[in-house]
Structure 1
Amino acid sequence: MSTGGLIIRAAAALPGAPTPPVTTPRDPAREAAERELSKPVYHQNDPGLIERALDRFWEWVDELFGRASGATPGGGLGLLAVLLLTLLVIAALWWRLGTPHRTATDPGTLFDDGPRSSADHRAAAEAHATAGRWTEAVQERMRAVVRSLEERTLLDPRPGRTADEAAAEAAGPLPHHAADLRAAARAFDDVTYGGRTGDPDTYARLRTLDLALERAKPLLTGPTA
């Protein structure tokens, strides 16, 4: 045995002497293998960050459903029945109450701000059309149509009137334009409450109707002389 080994063993035998650290001899082959496996070429097919996050998410969902099924009478079948019942209730409410954007805009009045002249609405419509904002252009042109009929006393000014009501009332003195008025009202409702987007063709039809109504002579229904 070497002199160094004897000294270490003698020191360890002394009372209160600190225990010498135990060292594990390094394995050159293992270190070489670890260095080799750490190269990027061996990790090209490893899951990415998003894929790992999705895996963790689905593991969490699976664990959550496992706990829920364990706490629900009937286990997994009981949980499935509860989910189906919840979906049926939501579908029934959706069918009964309609889509959220319909109820949010109720009562669906034609004019949503203070009184403006038909000329003001036409100018706003043309500005929107020039900028390519066809939904707003359709809305303002329909408002110009109704306001013009009110200014000509073919319609009584009435707050809260809807586009459909205006078209139905205007069809009385202007029966030859009744179909176009109804189509204009539907276009207004579609872009305002139905989630559709206005387009140049719809705006062009409304503009043509507006100009035609300006020249149209109302049907006289009063007594003749």
Structure 2
Amino acid sequence: MGLISEVAGAAPALLRLAEPPVTPDGPEAREWILRELAKSEYQAAKPTLFDIIAKRFWDWFNSLQVPVAEGAPPLGVLLILGAVVVAVIIALLIWGVPRFNRRSRLAGGGLFGESDERDAAAIRRAAEQAAKAGDWPLAISERFRAIARALTERTAVTLMPGTTAADAARRAAAVFPAQADGLANGAAVFDAVRYLGGAGSRDDYERLVALDRELASARPRLDAAEPVSVVPR
């Protein structure tokens, strides 16, 4: 009886083995494959995005065949240098080329012993307002300041602390020789109204206005005999 029972229990399995194999059609086969790959053991073995990128990089790296001459730096050094160059180029594209603007460094700062960050146009406006009010000492002082600031904005002269108005005029005259007399006279009038209590006059102011306009249209002589370093005070 025991043998008969065992044979009876194995009958379903024997019948399945005797059945012909199932051949799924295209869509059904694809569904079976996706269902199988969705199992946890397959997902755990699936490469991550980082793995894919790293593999592609190393495949590219290993594909490089750079002939290295005797005594030449190793390939790794060349690759590092190349990476640095690429990084610099990218940085320049993002942040732009550093601008060492000489005008911006020299245009501001002290004038005539005082801190003055105004540009030439602003100083001219102050001089014109003083002239309208009849304050000739202030108008003359401001106009001479405007002349000095305009020259620095053009980088025709360089303002340095400690230079007197007379020395400023002399050095500027080396760059603008045709205006040498006007610069010397302007410095003298400036010193008179600023340090000696001079009253100044409309004529003194108008001469400075004319000098300012002449210098604005004049071309500097770039082959001056000595370096020009100017800060009148």
Normalising by structure 1, what TM-score?
Answer: 0.48
Larger radius of gyration: 2
